[in-house]
Amino acid sequence: RLKTSSGTNLVPCVKLCWKILELRGRCPVRFDMSDNKVTVHFVNRDGEKITAKGSPGDSLLDLVINEDLDFDGFGACEGTLACSTCHLVFSEEVYEKLGPVTDEEMDMLDLAYGLTDTSRLGCQVCLTRALEGMEARVPESVADIRQTQDSSS
C-alpha cells in the first residue's frame, strides 16, 4: 500500500502511470496485477474461436503455449526466428498497433504459406493493453489447401 504522509492512496496513481507507459509501448516489465491481463481471440483453421488471456509482455506464442492451445505444429522452432509456423493474420486495424517488424522476422515471414500484408510471426508480437480484445487468425497450412490436389501425377 502506497500512501502519502497525509494518507492519500497513491496506488491508483501508480496504476495509471503504468497504464500510460504500457499504452505507449515503453513498458518493458510485466506488472503482474490481477486485472492486467490482455484478452486475445484466436480463430483456428476450422473457424473456431478460442479466447485466451495473457500478460502484457507475453508473446502470442507464449500465450498459445501457456494456455495449451491445440494448433497443430505451431511454434516449431520455439520462438527463435528459425521457422514460420507461428504465422498469424490480423485485421489492418490490429496490425497497425503491433509495432515495427525487423528484417529478421520478415525474412522468416516471407516463407510462410498464405502470407498477407497483415501477417506477423506470433513469437515476435508482444501483448500490450492496447491490444485488449484483439483477434488473431491461424492461417491454413499447405496441407489444407493441397487436400484438393492429387500429388501423384
Q: Which residues bind other proteins (CB under 8 A)?
A: 72-73, 76-78, 80-85, 103-104, 106-108, 110-111, 113, 115, 141-143, 146-147, 150-153
Burial class of residue 61 in the structure, from the number of CB atoms within 10 Å of its CB (0-12 exposed, 13-18 middle, 19+ buried):
buried
Considering the complex, what minimum distance in angstroms separates the CB of residue 88 from other proteins? Answer: 14
Helical residues (DSSP H) of 5-137, grouped into ranges = 11-23, 60-66, 92-97, 103-109
SS3 call for 9: strand
In the bound complex, what is the minimum distance in angstroms from residue 35's beta carbon to other proteins? 34
CB of 152 to other proteins, least distance (A): 5
The secondary structure element, H or E, covering residue 136 is strand 134-137
Which of residues 83 and 131 has its CB atom nearest to other proteins in the complex? 83
Of 4 and 152, which CB lies nearer to other proteins in the complex structure?
Answer: 152
